[in-house]
Structure 1
Amino acid sequence: MKLINKSILTVAITLSTASVYYAQEVKDTVNTTRSKDIEEVILQGVTDIAKDRKTPVAVSTVKAAQIIERLGNQELPEILNTTPSVYATKGGGGFGDSQIVIRGFESRNIAVMVNGMPVNDMEGGTVYFSNWTGLQDVTSTLQVQRGLGSSKLAIASVGGTINFLTKSADMKKGGVIRLGVGNNDYLKSSFAYNTGKSDKGWSSSFLMSRQSGSTYIENTDYESYAYYFALGWEPNKKHNFQFTMTSAPQWHDQRTFSPTIGNYIKFNPDKDGSPYRQYNSDYGYYTDENGNKVPLANRSNYYSKPVMMLNWDWTINDKSKLSTVAYMSNGRGGGTGDIGRVGGKSITDATFLDGGGHFNYDAIFAANQAVNVNTAPAASTLVRRSSINSHNWYGILANFQHKINDNWNFSVGTDDRYYYGYHYQVISDLYNAAGYKDNTNKNIAPNVVRNTYDYQKLTWNPFGGKVAPMEDRIGYSNDGEVIWYSGFAQVEYSKNNLSAFLQGSVSNQGYQRIDNFVQDGITRQPNATTGQIVNTKTGFKNLFGYNIKGGANYNINEQHNVFANIGYYSKQPFLNAVYPSNFQVVNPTLTNEKIFSAEVGYGFRSGKFSANANFYRTEWKDRWLRRTNQTFTLPDNTTATGYAEINGITEIHQGFEFDGVYKPTNFLEFQGMFSWGDYYYKGNATGSTFDDNNNPITVAGNSNSTTLYLDKVKVGGTSNNSIPQLTASLGATVKPVKDLSIYGTLRHVGKVYSSIDIATFSNEAAQQKGVLQLPDFNLFDLGISYKIRLKDASQYFTVGANVYNLFDTTYISDASTNVFGNDKITTNNDPDKGKTYEEAGRMYDGLADGNRVLFGFGRTWSATLSFNF
């Protein structure tokens, strides 16, 4: 697979005049449907936080106490798994490689915000949480607004909005030291301190943390640091300034390829016919000079992306306020994978695998050593490459708010950003080859590259690091430039029991692609003097977008309320849709994506029971999508990995959601959630296939371009992930004595559909079969927390422990293929070739064992000890 373009999760942490409530003590440890405290953490200015029984959107809120108490060594998005229509998994299982789906929409179409600032990658919309582990230590409140949400900005909140609210610099004086341990050598330590506000208006807050170990999956070692610093100054009641800097440099070994079920079983060391859930096919062993077997990862990720921002809140008068934030992000990093072939064989060839299903690097090294790289054709050695994906991002956001009278408010503002991304490949390990011959750079003759760049160490200085010259770059070298400017306005009305809003925004997104290798499919004449091919810039392609949405909430009485919202988005496509197939030519069928969404809901509040219920429907037209991590069968029956581009997709997402809390006594509380969805494709689409190095490939029996018969097919994921259409949870918290809390959660996931394999839906017969449905599963988590108070009320110890998947349930969390039991086995050299999987007895839990899947983690655990002072 072409390595992910590391997302621009630009944490524009806009701190405002209102202090952020931070739970120094664990007071509420559950995700309540009614959050009294959320009104205490409303950040004026750019943050749009939904208020209970006032903002007409479906919303769930998680407090800092719950994050601290229950997250442990899980992935940050997993804390949201008990909220309706949310499905967060660990992805491939590497540190920070989590994936999240809301209402059937993946992260690139979920707006992730930090204190109201949009942080999705400006090229592709993706979000990678491995760079933001520090958020779990500084987040005071985490709110999920499902659907279009209440944000005023022109953001891609098709599925929903996730908004992290962080600690402010002017919170009360105090600190905390925390130590965490867990399975697979997990170790985390952190220290945070807040000075409080001085008499002259100065305040500061900082945090430092480190964690390391490995995950449940084989050979997924990692190391991550996080730092956070905030400095505030409030010279008077009219002005407040806040400066913040944060980052989380990290490296981690990965599992990006999902093995087949058959290989999970085949390579189980116990040979008992069960799947070896920890199996990782993305690493292997070599023999060192002392004869020891040393593990070596083929897939790793590394990144450092500090963010700095300066916020100014100006209270002009009693009715008007202006909030402005300027921010910058400079990210450096990328990830590794293989490139090339040796002896015509890829790294996954059977001759390069050992008995455990891992790479036999000794065999690869020997094969590479035998190649005369100077005389061999291009790409005739097999090496490890690093795909560099760095960026510079600068932005400014301003919002003017004015209170017209007791009933009417309005706000207007602008959100402007500039982004430049750097994308190229270099060699990180020659795997004992004398070099790698590359012919993709059209500006130079085929050249042998011998220099390596091992970036897999933490980079504290994002402005440093060695930049590879053009002659050392392989595969591709292109840059992406994005200019975004937008304006927004919102009117709010509130009187008695009725509240309503109407919001609109317009935006212009300009994309430019710069190809240093001139891979544009257009013949260009070289410069007569230098011989260099020039004019590699496409020029900016400007795309106009807009949205309009509104809603109303009516409180029938103190117990009952109803709400409704409706909205329409004309959303610009991502960069790789503007310049498809990684060429310098603008997509001739380019069009904005159109999203129409409507929702109605009901809420109930009483002293012991609170609940919410809502129905929603979203139609998404003219969607363009790139599906990565695809495996294609070629006309000669060999396989190749790559990606597919799909045009003209229409999706329908509709469903019902419920969540509630019942507290019969002060010592017992129950929490419940249920969500049902119906997500399906409407009409057919077209797709094209490419290998990992952007070369068009022909799939067996089809051309490079094909019709995809998707009409009425259930919506599946885009890569190694799946999408459920039924989730439910039931939890309980017991507090038998003061300061002791015991909690457990049973979670059900059903109607889970695999990723769509583009090669599968090339005919109507496949359409009739539909997307592969995975087995339903249930998981149970259990935890305990106890507080030990000292004489000084501000000082106490907290001891906590969590066990995840307590009953060690074996389940499939994600899948990449659609192989059915009555499909024939087509793999060469397979003794069952020609039989169906059912005929060959090659079935596991109702699935053909040729399906590529990711098993969820087995039983894991974590424990923490913290001291607050």
Structure 2
Amino acid sequence: MKLINKSILTVAITLSTASVYYAQETQDTVKSTRSKDIEEVILQGVTDIAKDRKTPVAVSTIKAAQIIERLGNQELPEILNTTPSVYATKSGGGFGDGGITMRGFESRNIAVMVNGMPVNDMEGGTVYFSNWTGLSDVTSTLQVQRGLGSSKLAIASVGGTINFLTRSADMKRGGVVRLGVGNDDYLKTSFAYNTGKSPDGWSSSILMSRQAGGTYIENTDYESYAYYFALGWEPNKKHNFQFTLTSAPQWHDQRTYAPTISNYIKYNPDQDGTPYRQYNSDYGYYTNAEGRKVALANRSNYYAKPVMMLNWDWNMNEKSKLSTVLYMSNGRGGGTGDLGRVGGKSLTGYYDNMGHFDYDAVFAANQAVDVNAAAAGSTLIRRASINSHNWYGILANFQHKINDNWSFSVGTDDRYYYGYHYQVVSDLYGAAGYKDNKNLNIAPNVVNKVFDYKQLSWNPFGGKTTDLSNQIGYSNDGEVLWYSGFGQLEYSNEKLSAFVQGSISNQAYQRIDNFVIDGVTTQQGQVVNRKTGFKNLFGYNVKGGANYNVDEHNNVFANIGYYSKQPFMNAVYPSNQQVLNPTLTNEKIFSAEIGYGFRSSKLNANVNLYRTEWKDRWLRRSMQFDMSDGTVLNGYAEINGITQVHMGVEVDATYKPFQFLEFQGMFSWGDYKYKGNASGTTFDDNNNPINVTGDSNTTTLYLDGVKVGGSSSNSIPQMTASLGATVKPVKDLSIYGTWRYVGKLYSSIDVQSFSTPTSRGALQLPDFNLFDIGISYKIRLNNTSQFFTIGANVYNLFNTTYISDGATSVHAKTQDAFNSQQEYEAYQATLYKGIDPSNRVYFGFGTTWSANLSFNF
């Protein structure tokens, strides 16, 4: 199959992040992919930044000016959407709730780093981008390495690595004030200033910002702040110290439940048979004391995750260098949802005729309950699930140049993590309290203390726990010890560069259940204690690669690697219990890749082919279950024994025929499949086993040969392309337009759809095309260092209606499922673009916009 030809390369017109063509805001010149300011960062600190025509990995790099110009009010990962094999969506549509996949792997299996420091959650690998929205303001370079990547750390970057390099304290003196506006009351203001370096080596940088408003989705209000402070000191040429403090405290109302297609259509206020893309079933209305209807969110998120880092670079001599980072990250916050039942119904039993919660009915039902006399869980409330942590680490890297060709590096990455997980009452929904009986140390007690999720926590040292008497549902802690060592040997000359890397790591997990009595016997006859004791898991990886520059235009590379990856904590202690997984095993990942690059003054192009096999994977997948009483229950499934095979090809190119015009293009094709079957167990949100396929909560999942979809409510495309252009008709004016195509998009796997041998595989969602445009203009003042920049962006220009993510795989019924041709034709008329309307999906946003004004001084 001929995937792309020369004509496509030369007419490609899109924003390609495969090359760096934007200069810093204060410069006019355009820089090539071999940008010297990028290469100067290579040997600084502990970051592993890929060099063009040297590091044998597939890489894309974005500069700060591109993020500032084009991100607007999009989700931070969306700036990567024109990168090969990357798919970023807004998921449910709440602020910062976006998801990202790379080569078919989701964010928990993509190594996300800030200045070389890993930030994936140490218990589950997740990355919540709502905690990192401030990075859009302080990132100087964003580099994506697809596949194994060049990081020497003992991290299993199955899909790839995303590394944010933030501004340093010693940037040149100057500042900027920005104002941004957009759809749905989006408003963002920010201020940043750099002092520059003083004669005695001191420098500092500060940034503060606030944004608020709503998103395109109903009732998704939010408020977010960001602050960044960097202090640098370079006493001499041997030593450089950089201290950094940053955080982005926020709260936002969410849409976490993917509605059915039929409900999007049913609850469209226009009643025109089209889906109402803004529809959100996770909120409702109640009547306040003044008699007014007030919106109330059931699902929301709030978090603050301050990070402090101290970097020390020591140039020991001309050949040796030691880089060390000490860091701390104390996260505070959680997410809300409903808990309990009243009147025999959960919250989904109280929808009104517009598909929103009828809180007046809930309040009335709750007020009729004598909570002291009733059974536990007999009122319906909003709970907040707290997920706080304290995280400390040290990362050190010693580099030594043996001679002009050979060098090596060795180092260590050590971390300590303590996570706090419990539930508290967030809103009583009119009840006098909530009776809980989950804590075996306390007799069933009535809790009526309410915690407001909109009260942001700015203190990184306090607020980690509440009194046990106010905790409900569950209360457990996770303790993780991580020790690792790594090494790399590298050879390099003008033509050839090659490396071999290896790392070993030990992860020790301990689960602490504060609701358990030591020595209690479970229903399965197992004796458990409050503390499980540490379970040590050993892992390792080894990888190598080589790049050969054929001439000044052509280069080829290859890499190969094997990972023995420790499972996440919820696989070590599954079902949220104090019992060790009896079938615990490391996950095994083998990956290989080859690539070709072409560089010239006008055309740059890359081609990559890869294959990754992932065995013994364990997955926890959030789900919504259809119950026999007609209600929908939120919960999760634990799936083990998964094997996946991902292979594909990637092409990206930029073509610049004139100084004022640049074309870009990208194409990626993948074939991602499950290999063999797996087994799954199902639970509700409060960790109670639920039976959805029979008399047991355990079932076989028939996945062999099924296309890989995402977990939770995400989807994975196996074909993407983009075309676009950037035009600069006059000095300081820039206009761009992009087209993006997404195809072979598969819905996520769900336990109910794959529980029989006749399962029809993952549901393929309709392909879609999107267009974006933007413009920016710089107004210079007499002082060359002072200028205004005004810009605007329009996303989804033609208001295309498309499904971005699917939560279920319900295939359209065949004709033999009906008693008559008339019934079959009536059913066919209900299909949405050939898809059964009972499928739960997220529609992408319609047309949105943003505009900004900034002043640099």
TM-score (norm 1): 0.93
Aligned-pair CA distance for 1:638? 5.0
Distance 2:619 2:357 in 1: 32
Partner of 1:817: 808
Partner of 1:665: 658
Relative to structure 1, is the Cα distance of residues 521 and 835 closer, same or farther in structure 2, using a 3 angstrom cutoff?
farther
- SS in structure 2 of the partner of residue 131 of structure 1: helix
Aligned-pair CA distance for 1:455? 3.1
Relative to structure 1, is the Cα distance of residues 32 and 700 closer, same or farther in structure 2, using a 3 angstrom cutoff?
farther
Aligned-pair CA distance for 1:157? 0.4
Partner of 2:215: 215
The AA in structure 2 aligned to 1:849 is P
Partner of 2:436: 438
Distance 2:688 2:718 in 1: 35
Unaligned runs of 5+ in 2: 1-19
Distance 1:346 1:261 in 2: 22
Partner of 2:771: 780
Partner of 1:720: 713
The AA in structure 2 aligned to 1:585 is V
Aligned-pair CA distance for 1:640? 2.4
**1:143 matches 2:131:** no
Aligned-pair CA distance for 1:864? 0.5
CA offsets 1:249-283 (integer angstroms, 9 cap, x no match): 10000000000000000110011111000000000
Q: What is the alpha-carbon root mean square deviation over aligned residues?
A: 2.2
Preserved contact between residue 29 and residue 66 of structure 1 (Cα < 8 Å): no
Question: Identical aligned pairs, as a percentage?
Answer: 79
Partner of 2:848: 860
Relative to structure 1, is the Cα distance of residues 203 and 433 closer, same or farther in structure 2, using a 3 angstrom cutoff?
same
CA offsets 1:371-420 (integer angstroms, 9 cap, x no match): 11122221111000011111000000111000000000100000000000
Distance 1:476 1:823 in 2: 45
Preserved contact between residue 441 and residue 517 of structure 2 (Cα < 8 Å): no
Alignment of 1:632-643 (within 5 A): 632-634=626-628, 639-643=632-636
Partner of 1:460: 458
Alignment of 1:287-306 (within 5 A): 287-306=287-306
Alignment of 1:408-807 (within 5 A): 408-465=406-463, 467-518=465-516, 523=521, 535-634=529-628, 639-701=632-694, 703-766=696-759, 769-807=760-798
- SS in structure 2 of the partner of residue 839 of structure 1: helix
Distance 1:462 1:321 in 2: 33
Partner of 2:838: 850
Distance 2:815 2:28 in 1: 54
Preserved contact between residue 22 and residue 140 of structure 1 (Cα < 8 Å): no
Relative to structure 1, is the Cα distance of residues 484 and 455 closer, same or farther in structure 2, using a 3 angstrom cutoff?
same
Distance 1:271 1:524 in 2: 53
Distance 2:824 2:374 in 1: 41
The AA in structure 2 aligned to 1:266 is K
Partner of 1:3: none
- SS in structure 1 of the partner of residue 169 of structure 2: coil
- SS in structure 2 of the partner of residue 381 of structure 1: coil
The AA in structure 2 aligned to 1:816 is A
Relative to structure 1, is the Cα distance of residues 384 and 48 closer, same or farther in structure 2, using a 3 angstrom cutoff?
same
Unaligned runs of 5+ in 1: 1-19, 526-532, 827-831
Preserved contact between residue 520 and residue 584 of structure 1 (Cα < 8 Å): no
CA offsets 1:59-108 (integer angstroms, 9 cap, x no match): 01111111011000111100000000000000110000010000000000
The AA in structure 2 aligned to 1:722 is S
Aligned-pair CA distance for 1:40? 3.3
**1:390 matches 2:399:** no
Distance 2:367 2:405 in 1: 78
Partner of 1:87: 87
Distance 2:323 2:267 in 1: 58
Distance 2:347 2:239 in 1: 60
Alignment of 1:158-197 (within 5 A): 158-197=158-197
Distance 1:496 1:308 in 2: 39
Preserved contact between residue 61 and residue 141 of structure 1 (Cα < 8 Å): yes
Relative to structure 1, is the Cα distance of residues 661 and 521 closer, same or farther in structure 2, using a 3 angstrom cutoff?
farther
- SS in structure 2 of the partner of residue 759 of structure 1: helix
Aligned-pair CA distance for 1:521? 11
Distance 1:707 1:230 in 2: 53
Alignment of 1:72-111 (within 5 A): 72-111=72-111
Distance 1:837 1:368 in 2: 45
The AA in structure 2 aligned to 1:860 is T
Distance 2:645 2:301 in 1: 35
Preserved contact between residue 146 and residue 159 of structure 1 (Cα < 8 Å): yes
Distance 1:354 1:754 in 2: 29
Aligned-pair CA distance for 1:845? 1.2
Distance 1:296 1:286 in 2: 7
Distance 1:824 1:383 in 2: 44
- SS in structure 1 of the partner of residue 363 of structure 2: helix
Partner of 2:339: 339
Distance 2:178 2:778 in 1: 13
Distance 1:721 1:250 in 2: 23
Preserved contact between residue 331 and residue 462 of structure 1 (Cα < 8 Å): yes
- SS in structure 2 of the partner of residue 379 of structure 1: coil
Preserved contact between residue 553 and residue 564 of structure 1 (Cα < 8 Å): yes
Aligned-pair CA distance for 1:699? 1.2
Preserved contact between residue 31 and residue 62 of structure 1 (Cα < 8 Å): no
Relative to structure 1, is the Cα distance of residues 29 and 184 closer, same or farther in structure 2, using a 3 angstrom cutoff?
farther
The AA in structure 2 aligned to 1:240 is N
CA offsets 1:841-862 (integer angstroms, 9 cap, x no match): 3211111110000000000000
TM-score (norm 2): 0.94
Preserved contact between residue 332 and residue 387 of structure 2 (Cα < 8 Å): yes
Deviates more, 1:449-458 or 1:287-296: 449-458
- SS in structure 1 of the partner of residue 752 of structure 2: coil
- SS in structure 2 of the partner of residue 841 of structure 1: helix
Aligned-pair CA distance for 1:29? 11
CA offsets 1:23-80 (integer angstroms, 9 cap, x no match): 5427689997655542133352311000000000000111111101100011110000
Distance 1:382 1:29 in 2: 61
Distance 2:245 2:685 in 1: 36
Preserved contact between residue 630 and residue 757 of structure 1 (Cα < 8 Å): no
Distance 2:560 2:319 in 1: 29
Aligned-pair CA distance for 1:439? 1.2
Distance 2:517 2:252 in 1: 31
Relative to structure 1, is the Cα distance of residues 31 and 755 closer, same or farther in structure 2, using a 3 angstrom cutoff?
farther
Alignment of 1:359-398 (within 5 A): 359-398=357-396
The AA in structure 1 aligned to 2:767 is D
The AA in structure 2 aligned to 1:416 is D
- SS in structure 1 of the partner of residue 257 of structure 2: coil
Preserved contact between residue 365 and residue 433 of structure 1 (Cα < 8 Å): yes
Relative to structure 1, is the Cα distance of residues 524 and 633 closer, same or farther in structure 2, using a 3 angstrom cutoff?
closer
Preserved contact between residue 286 and residue 296 of structure 2 (Cα < 8 Å): yes
Partner of 1:202: 202
Distance 1:519 1:267 in 2: 48
Preserved contact between residue 145 and residue 160 of structure 1 (Cα < 8 Å): yes
